[in-house]
């Protein structure tokens, strides 16, 4: 299945059916009277977040969604049928925006969450509604209310607890594959990852969702490489794992490049808790590894983990550090320690 995280959609609610002008005429009924029924309401357009979806690809092949009109009223006080609603089923984490791509209509972050995008028009009154003591035979009815037509944008931001960031070939996909059942594409050339990937990671009996996005390069905020179009998928994360390629000869420059791109992107990414880890430790000797770790600690101003996603060395410690940040974000209490006399 192809990945799509942005789609333009045209929607229109149904118009209400017109009221009916009708008079009762029956044999043996001395006094007739108005009996025109009301028109049915038009169908509405809804959006609903459903589990099991992680792409907006369905909206590439269908962009127009028009609800049914209500049927007009009929004689014998019969109300017209209400038009059927249309429900846009979108992945959890979908933002719905106005046509300007900036004004937020709704943010669907929970399964089953629904929002009304376009309300159907009301049906018109039939002439029986206008009957009064002074107007025994009204000959007018209301037309149905017109539907609402609008253009909206759907933008998907995946729901994940932690996100992976780093330069291309930093080992992000290898880390995700080593810690979860996800099977992202892995190769020895840049930009192997072209779309975000999600994996469920477990450590010490706890589970959380980890997101891997395509690698960033210098100037990504200006559209270079794959740009920063996928950074939105880590906006909701509680913590970021910044992987740095330990085999690179420009460790500090690589680190500062990613930090600069996060700051340029904005939306609070640069202020999120960030864990820095030096990857591919299995490819370095002890002396080189120690030197590059100290250089990275100086550049980051904090602790630097050392790991090898390929061999699994140091991975558990990093996962525990990620879980600690996620737990603090969720404000989950620690389990009580077993009592000891």
At residue 217, the pLDDT reads: 65
Q: What is the pLDDT of residue 113?
A: 92
> Which pLDDT score is estimated for 160?
80
CATH fold, domain 6-156, is Spo0b-associated Gtp-binding Protein; Chain: A, (2.70.210)
Encoded tokens for 59: 């909206």
Residue 193 labeled ligand binder? yes
Q: Is 173 annotated as a binding residue?
A: yes
- Please check if 282 is assigned to a binding site: yes
Whether domain 162-330 has CATH 3.40.50.300: yes
Tokens of 249: 């000869």
Q: Is 13 annotated as a binding residue?
A: no
- Residue 18 labelled as part of a binding site: no
Q: How far apart are CA 120 and CA 112, in angstroms?
A: 21
240 carries a ligand binding annotation = no
Phi, psi of 306 (to 5 degrees): -115, 130
User: Binding site annotation covers 133?
Assistant: no
pLDDT of residue 13: 95
Any binding-site annotation on 316? Answer: no
- Per-run averaged pLDDT (10 residues), the chain, 341 residues: 80 94 80 88 94 85 93 91 94 90 89 93 92 87 93 87 84 83 55 67 85 70 58 82 86 87 82 88 86 88 87 89 85 49 39
- What gap in Å lies between CA 156 and CA 153, rounded to an integer? 10
Residue 213 assigned as binding residue: yes
233: number of Cβ within 10 Å: 24
d(CA 114, CA 88): 10
> According to the annotation, is 310 in a ligand binding site?
yes
Domains of the chain, by residue range, sit at 6-156, 162-330
Measured between alpha carbons, how far is residue 46 from residues 14, 68, 168 in Å?
A: 12, 13, 40
Q: Is 141 annotated as a binding residue?
A: no
Residue 307: HSE in the Cβ half-sphere, 13 Å Cα cutoff: 28
Q: How many CB atoms lie within 10 A of CB 16?
A: 29
Q: Is 302 left (phi over 0), alpha (psi -120 to 50) or beta?
A: beta
Say if residue 279 carries a ligand binding annotation: yes
Is 309 annotated for ligand binding?
A: yes
Q: Is 172 annotated as a binding residue?
A: yes
The annotation status of 34 as a binding-site residue, yes or no, is: no
């Amino acid at each position: 299945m192809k990945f799509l995280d942005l789609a333009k959609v045209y929607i229109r609610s149904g118009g209400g059916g017109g009221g009916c002008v009708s008079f009762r005429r029956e044999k043996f009924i001395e006094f007739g009277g108005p009996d025109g029924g009301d028109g049915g309401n038009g169908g509405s357009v809804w959006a609903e977040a459903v589990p099991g979806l992680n792409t907006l690809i369905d909206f590439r092949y269908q962009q127009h969604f028009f609800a049914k009109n209500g049927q007009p009223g009929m004689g014998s006080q019969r109300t017209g049928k209400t038009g059927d609603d249309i429900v846009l089923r979108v992945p959890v984490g979908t933002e719905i925006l106005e046509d300007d791509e900036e004004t937020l209509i709704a943010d669907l972050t929970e399964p089953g969450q629904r929002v009304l995008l376009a309300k159907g028009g009301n049906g018109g009154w039939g002439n029986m509604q206008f009957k009064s003591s002074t107007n025994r035979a009204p000959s007018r009815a209301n037309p149905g209310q017109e539907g609402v037509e609008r253009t909206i944008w759907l933008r998907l931001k995946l729901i994940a607890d932690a996100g992976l960031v780093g330069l291309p070939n930093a080992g992000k996909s290898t880390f995700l594959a080593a810690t979860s059942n996800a099977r992202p594409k892995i190769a020895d050339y840049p930009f192997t990852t072209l779309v975000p990937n999600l994996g469920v990671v477990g450590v010490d009996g706890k589970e959380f969702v980890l997101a891997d996005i395509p690698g960033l390069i210098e100037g990504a905020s200006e559209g270079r490489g794959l740009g920063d179009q996928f950074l939105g998928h880590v906006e909701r994360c509680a913590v970021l794992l910044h992987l740095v390629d330990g085999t690179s000869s420009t460790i500090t420059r690589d680190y500062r490049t990613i930090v600069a791109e996060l700051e340029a992107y904005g939306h609070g990414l640069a202020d999120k808790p960030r864990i820095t880890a030096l990857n591919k430790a299995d490819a370095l000797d002890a002396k080189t590894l120690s030197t590059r770790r100290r250089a990275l600690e100086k550049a980051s101003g904090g602790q630097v983990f050392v790991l090898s996603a390929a061999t699994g060395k140091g991975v558990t410690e990093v996962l525990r550090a990620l879980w600690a940040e996620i737990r603090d974000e969720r404000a989950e209490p620690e389990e009580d320690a077993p009592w000891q006399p």
